[in-house]
Structures are given as C-alpha cells and as structure tokens.
Structure 1
Amino acid sequence: MTIHDVDTKLNISEALERLMKDGLPFRFEAFDGSSAGPEDATLTLRLINERGLAYLMTAPGDLGFARAYVSGDLEVDGIHPGNPYDIMVLIMSQLRFKVPSAAEMLQIVRSLGFGNLKPPTPPDEEHLPKWRRAFEGMRHTKKRDAEAIQHHYDVSNRFYELVLGESMTYTCAVYPTADSTLEEAQFAKYDLICRKLDLQPGQRLLDIGCGWGGMVRHAAQHYGVNVIGVTLSREQAAWAQDAIERQGLDHLAEVRFGDYRDVVESEFDAVSSIGLTEHIGVRNYPAYFQFMHDVIKPGGRVLNHCITRPNNKTKPIGAFIDRYVFPDGELTGVGRITVAAQESGLEVRHVENLREHYALTLKGWCENLVAHWDDCLDEVSEGRAKVWGLYMAGSRLAFERNEIELHHVLAVRPDAHGGANWPLRPTWLS
C-alpha cells in the first residue's frame, strides 16, 4: 500500500470489507449511504449513526457490537430481538476477520474519523462501576457478590415469569424427549437431582443459590423433605417464600435472603447447588466445597450443577457477558471442580454432561421472550430485553458447538471408616 492509498478515504462499508477474510455473510448498510454484502441476504445489519460507529471502533468484538445493538444504534432486519439466533450463527460461524497491516489500519481510522476513537457513554444496561476497575483483584467478597447477583436477578419478577415460564427456573432443564415441553423438562431436572441425592421423607436439604425456590418447592412437595434455600437476590427470596406459602409448603420449606456462607445450621442429609458455582470464583472453590462437606452428615450427598468449559483452563467469560449479564462470572472445566470437591474430603461418585439439554432450554426461553415481547417491555427497557435475547441466543449456540458445557457432579461425604450408604446400583438409574 502506498502513501497515496493511505490518504484515499474509504466509506464505512469499504472499511468494514477491508477487515473481512471471506466477505460478509449478511447485508450491511451504513448511515453514510454505503452498503456491502449480498443484496439477496436474508439478514441485514444497519448502522444507524455516528455513536454506533464509535461503539464498534472503541470496543471491537462482542462488547462494541452489544453496545451499538442494545442502544439501538445497530439494527438487524430479518430477526426478532427476542431471538437473534440466526444472526449469532452467521457471526460466530461465518464471520472471519483479518489483521490489517499498519498502513491499512491507518487508512481505515483516518477514513472513519479519529474522533470516533473516543468511547461514548455505554448504555444504561451495562454494569461496570468504577470500583470494579480499581479492584479487579478483589472479586467475590460478600458485598461484591451481592451487588453482582442483584444486578442480574433483581430486575422484575414478572419479566422472569414471562421468560422462564411457570417453573421460574433459571437453570438447565433435562429433556426426557426432544418433544418435551420446557415445564416438563424443568420438572424432570429437579426430579433427577432429588433422585441423585436419594432424598427421603423427613430428611434435611440445603439448597444454596436457590433462585426462585424451584428445587426447594419440588423437594418439599414431592419428597417430603425439610428444605432451606438461600439466595443473594432479595426479589427472588420474596417471590419464592410467597410461592412456598401459596403451595402450602411452609411447614417444610423456607427461602432466605442472604449469603450461603452465613448459614449456621449443619447436619444436613444433602446439599444441592444449581447454577451457583459460576458466580463464586475459581479460587474460592476450596472454601465452597469445604462448606458443603462440613454442613452434611457422614453419608450425606452433594449435587453440584454448573456451566463448565470443555477444558480445565480458566479464562474470562467475555466482555459482553461480564458487563451485561453475569458480572464477575468465571467458568472452568469439570476436572477443576471434581478436584476441588475431592480435596475438601468429598468422594465424587458420578459426573454427567448435559450440555445439549441447556441448548434446548435456551431455545425455549428465547421462544418465551418472543411470544411475550410486548409484555416484557412493560417490565424492563427495550435495551434490557435485547440483552436477554442476545445472551440467550448466543449461549444456545455456544452449547451446541461445545464451547461451554453443563455438568452434574455428585459426591458423598464418607464416614471415618469409608462408609457412604451407597447402593450397588445408583437409584436414579433404576
């Protein structure tokens, strides 16, 4: 490239094409009147204004795309914002960027304007307060965990009812068949966990990170178990306790607003943790599993249900997920989880990967969001609803592609002589 080429001004679409290895798999139109990509494409991305361009330039990748899309500066024709699965497939499967030379990059930046390298204010839905920037090494204090959980869950219980369905369950379901409904699959998930824990009438269960109390209510209603559930979301706790009373289960079950680390009771027969591990931080695994080991009786069981990676490396969950969905979330492989469980004194007895079931679960949630879109917008901002559609559709694709997984790890606390009250054949397989 010559100096003359560097001085040649590109329009926005030409600049984008310079960054593509294999061209664009969709139609692209920009506010400067330029366009690129197949004219007969089923999907069209439309860049509306200068702010959207600045979002894309100052945070290349998923964060800039999310900022422009959530703010309404980047529109996608051909999809419903509650289920942008098709555009996620194109972006994650067919969009290939190349690394431009220094001269090419200079030409692109000059063409698009150096002023667009100043980051605009992020959308209101983004969560990254200044104290997070200053104290990145101090994650997972009780205060910080509470704020992160409340950012995601204390939105609107009605919004969650519309998206999650009657079960109010925000974790992977287990589909008995491909034709099972979301509600049938959530029932099957809770029942599978109860059977893995071998729950019996009169036993005591602690459910940590209990959400809206789905496991708490299922174990009490169908297995006659005395259950304590704990959640860091005040909205979840209030909804769950009200549901317990409506179902006439308050003699068996309760849900508390608080940190599981503040539970003082012990001698439980079992502990379930469904979707909490992602929030606690990998370096806190030893204390987490030690807590569960210490609060159950010898012979007691632990079921840990969490999203995992297909390897045991620990890496950030991605800027979009961190700032818009799960602040401070961390994922690693099931190997790290089983090691931490073993080192606490628990004996791991069964490990199961249910990742395809989570893809189906997310598909169901997206369908609910689309079906109830107008009602959802009565509860949350359009930007927040877009975040949910983007997050769930992208996560569905990631589970389908085995970029993330969902594991059950079942463990028991042996007594001093190795006894574990374990049957020769697992009861949930009979």
Structure 2
Amino acid sequence: MIRHLVPHLESRLLGLPAPMSVQLPEGPLLGAPDAPVKMSFSHWSSLTRLRAGQIGALAEEYVEGKLKLEGRMRDVMAVAASLLPANPSHSDTGWWTGLQRQIRSLRTHTPEKDAAQIQFHYDVSDDFYALWLDPHRVYSCAYYREDAMTLAQAQQAKLDHICRKLMLQAGERFLDIGTGWGGLLLWAAEHYGVDATGITLSKNQYAHVQAQIAKKGLQGRVRVELRDYRHLDEDKPFDKISSVGMFEHVGRAQMPAYFSKIMRLLAPGGLVLNHGITAGGLDNRQLGAGMGNFIEKYIFPGGELLHVSDVLTHLARSGLEMVDTENLRPHYARTLWDWSDALEARLDEAQQVLAAPGVNARAEKILRAYRLYLAGSAMCFEQGWISLHQMLAARPAEAMADEAIQGAQSAYPFRREYMYNTPDS
C-alpha cells in the first residue's frame, strides 16, 4: 500500500496558495473541512499522481469519474498551478524525440484524419457552445481594447481588429480558412463589403453558416464550403486571407505545405493574417505534466503547437513577408475565463443540452472535460506556458502604383496608424 504518502500530502497541503482538502479512499480527510477546493479519491494509486504533479492524469481521472473535484474553477486552477513540479512548457528536445514527433505529425495530419479530428471537437453540439460563447459564436481569442468590455464587445473588437489589419476594401476577394460559425466571414461581408469565401471541416459549423448567409441575404457574395484548405482552387487568387484559430490543427510536419498553399492562394501584394495559439517553449509540441495528453485525448486530437519563431520561419520560407506580429496572450487568458465563468453559471443547462436524445452519449464526461479545459487553458495563458499571436504577412509584388511607401511591394503601408482609425463603413 502507499499510505506512506499521507504525511507528505499533509505537509504539501499547508504550502498551497489556496486552501485544499483531500478525502482519502478509506475515510480520513486531510486539510480544512471548509477548504474552497476539495479532491476526493477512490483509489490510493491516484495519490501518486497528485504527489508527482501529474495534473493531466488527475484531470483524466476526474473526467472518468474516478476522482471527485469540488470548488470554483478559478480556485482549482490556482491549486493546480502550484502542484506542478516544473514549467510544463519545457520538454525533451533531443533529436530522437524530435524525429518521433515529426513521424507522428506526418501520420496524424492527412485530410481524412484532420476532418475526423475537427468534427470530434467542433461537432459536439452547437447548442452547447452557444451557452458560453458570445452571440456571434466566435471561438477564438477576443480583443479587450478597453478594460470594461464584455466578452461580446471584445469579440466584435477582435473581428474589426482583424479586418482593419487586413485593410479590407469593398469588392475584394476574401478567404477565411477555418471559418468556424462564420463570425469573421459575416462581419467582413457586412461591415467591409468584401466578396467572402469561408471553409470548414465541421459539418455542424457548415450548416450553421449556410443558414446565417441565407438569413442575412448574403448569398450573392458570401459562401461557405465544407473543404480542406489543401483542396482549394488556386486559379483565382484572393486579395486578402485570414486563418483564425486553425493552424494549431495543421501539424508541425505540414506547416511548410500550409504556408506555401496560402502563398499560392494570395494575389501578389495581398495580405494574410494568421491568428493562433503558439507554444510557450521553444521546442515543445504540447504541455508537459500530462496536460498535453489530456487535451489530445478529450479536446483537440491532433493539435500541435509551435513557438512563434518557428511559425515565422515557415512563413518566411514560403515566400511570404511578415509585416506585423502582435502577442495577445493575456487577452486569451481573459477570454477563456469569460468562457469558463459562462459555462460554470449554466452547468445544469449544459448537462441537459449534451444529454439530449441523439446528441452525445458521453455527456457527463464531455462537460467535465470542458470545465477543466477552459479553466486550465486560462491558467496556462496567464502563466505564459502557451501564447497567442496574430501574424500579418504579405505576398511581395513588384512596385505597386498605389503603395503607401516606396518599396512596400504590398498593400501594407508600414505604419500602424491605419489599424486604429475609425473605418468609413
């Protein structure tokens, strides 16, 4: 038996930033009875994971019903961060580990597997996501231009921030790769007058966007396709391209092909904005302490993170020129806390939605997994273990007649003032 861990646990509980109690498998309670965070274990073996700081393994046991967890998610994550033995963004960077990751990435990211992985996450239930997302169902980092902004206001600010960065103009051909529930696609069409095309691998999202296009009467200049980015026609290039919250699913091994495809899809002088999660460490593909494995199993199968320096290297090798990069890491922490708080306030509704006939047989497990995923991700962004970058790039062209500064070779003016001016439309 491993009851010898009890003295160690008692001393460990005293050093935590937030009070926590531990219910042992056979009755004794360690810590204060009224502690804001309580873990109840049904197996002694689980205590070894607690001692080792294997947060991901503990999260898996909670999802599977082997561990009971009580307390506000914000308090739970304060405790979780203190239990980690080391920075989870540090990892083994040896050549053998890198080779194994490259082989796995190649095998994981085929068009067929990517479609299945996207549908695993995004097709859980539209009604479930609607409970905690903003009215536009924007499922990516918001932009809190002002501290007092609500989530809905910050998401609108983000949509406009992207459109301004891309200098969208009426009549331009605009492509949104990984269009989600259509928030950016529809915003760009309605507020900037572009001819917009969106692609997604999610059947639920495709149906939702189709319905929104029809509802808004935008059939003439907005369309959505159920299509892999690799299968897009290159015959008629786009003036502007966005990819928001999508390239995390591309895979390290496919990154050169991804940016090369964007380069060929973009008209000379055009702009592309790549917005997505990046690694906090230079070489890790996912977070340590079992957290990456938890995300892989329950949330985003096939997801891989790269450090922003790696992303920019792949971008440059494709022939694109990076013209502006912005780190929005704290904004994503706040976004995730807003999502987490919204879900926590509607847990009963979420359970009912997920358990509705024909929706999902894994309702309880999905809800427990998402509670940890949202709050845990917020903690990771706050700690700097993962990050979020918007990278604006151009496809260089020969000198353009309307370029703002000689030698620009693109629509980008090489001055940031335009991003913050009030748009005319």
Q: Same fold (TM over 0.5)?
A: yes
Q: How does 1:2-81 map to 2 (within 5 A)?
A: 10-11=2-3, 14=6, 17=9, 20=12, 25-47=19-41, 49-50=42-43, 53=46, 61-79=54-72
Tell me the residue number matched to 1:428: 419
Tell me the residue number matched to 2:268: 298
Given that 2:13 and 2:31 are in contact with CA atoms closer than 8 Å, whether structure 1 keeps it comes out as no
Q: How does 1:325-340 map to 2 (within 5 A)?
A: 325-340=299-314
- CA gap of 1:13–1:28, structure 2 versus 1, over 3 A, is farther
Given that 1:52 and 1:74 are in contact with CA atoms closer than 8 Å, whether structure 2 keeps it comes out as no
Given that 2:339 and 2:374 are in contact with CA atoms closer than 8 Å, whether structure 1 keeps it comes out as yes
Q: Deviations over 1:244-267 (max 9, x none)?
A: 211222222111112111111532
User: Which residue, out of 195, 198, 207, partners 1:229?
Assistant: 198
Count of aligned residue pairs for this structure pair: 382
Tell me the residue number matched to 1:189: 158
Greater mean alpha carbon deviation, residues 366-375 or residues 12-21: 12-21
CA distance in 2, matches of 1:247, 1:161: 19
RMSD: 2.7
Tell me the residue number matched to 1:85: 74
Tell me the residue number matched to 2:143: 174
Tell me the residue number matched to 1:378: 352
Unaligned runs of 5+ in 2: 87-100, 355-362, 400-406
CA distance in 2, matches of 1:153, 1:422: 34
Greater mean alpha carbon deviation, residues 23-32 or residues 351-360: 23-32
Given that 1:22 and 1:96 are in contact with CA atoms closer than 8 Å, whether structure 2 keeps it comes out as no
Given that 1:17 and 1:23 are in contact with CA atoms closer than 8 Å, whether structure 2 keeps it comes out as no
- CA gap of 1:285–1:19, structure 2 versus 1, over 3 A, is farther
- CA gap of 1:276–1:12, structure 2 versus 1, over 3 A, is farther
Deviation, 1:10, is 4.9
Tell me the residue number matched to 1:123: none
CA distance in 2, matches of 1:344, 1:29: 55
- CA gap of 1:304–1:384, structure 2 versus 1, over 3 A, is same
Q: Deviations over 1:367-400 (max 9, x none)?
A: 2212222221122212211111101101111111
Deviation, 1:224, is 0.5
Tell me the residue number matched to 2:232: 263
CA distance in 1, matches of 2:152, 2:392: 24
| SS of aligned partner of 2:23 | strand
Deviation, 1:38, is 3.9
- The one-letter amino acid paired with 2:419 is W
- The one-letter amino acid paired with 2:411 is N
CA distance in 2, matches of 1:356, 1:175: 10
Deviation, 1:97, is 5.6
| SS of aligned partner of 1:45 | strand
User: Which residue, out of 359, 363, 366, partners 2:337?
Assistant: 363
- CA gap of 1:148–1:54, structure 2 versus 1, over 3 A, is farther
- CA gap of 1:284–1:137, structure 2 versus 1, over 3 A, is closer
| SS of aligned partner of 1:11 | coil
Tell me the residue number matched to 2:132: 163
Q: Could you state the TM-score of these two structures normalised by the residue count of structure 2?
A: 0.83
Given that 1:354 and 1:407 are in contact with CA atoms closer than 8 Å, whether structure 2 keeps it comes out as yes
- The one-letter amino acid paired with 1:250 is Q
CA distance in 2, matches of 1:17, 1:89: 17
Q: Could you state the TM-score of these two structures normalised by the residue count of structure 1?
A: 0.82
- CA gap of 1:147–1:51, structure 2 versus 1, over 3 A, is farther
Unaligned runs of 5+ in 1: 1-8, 99-131
Given that 2:329 and 2:387 are in contact with CA atoms closer than 8 Å, whether structure 1 keeps it comes out as yes
Identity of aligned residues (%): 39
Q: Deviations over 1:277-302 (max 9, x none)?
A: 11101221111111111111111000
Given that 2:174 and 2:238 are in contact with CA atoms closer than 8 Å, whether structure 1 keeps it comes out as yes
- CA gap of 1:387–1:21, structure 2 versus 1, over 3 A, is closer
Q: Deviations over 1:40-75 (max 9, x none)?
A: 53221111x349849959x97133212221123212
Tell me the residue number matched to 2:174: 205
Q: Deviations over 1:308-363 (max 9, x none)?
A: 12343232341111111111111111111111111111111000001111111111
Given that 2:55 and 2:84 are in contact with CA atoms closer than 8 Å, whether structure 1 keeps it comes out as no
CA distance in 2, matches of 1:243, 1:52: 51
Q: Deviations over 1:63-99 (max 9, x none)?
A: 32122211232122333xxxx221111121x22669x
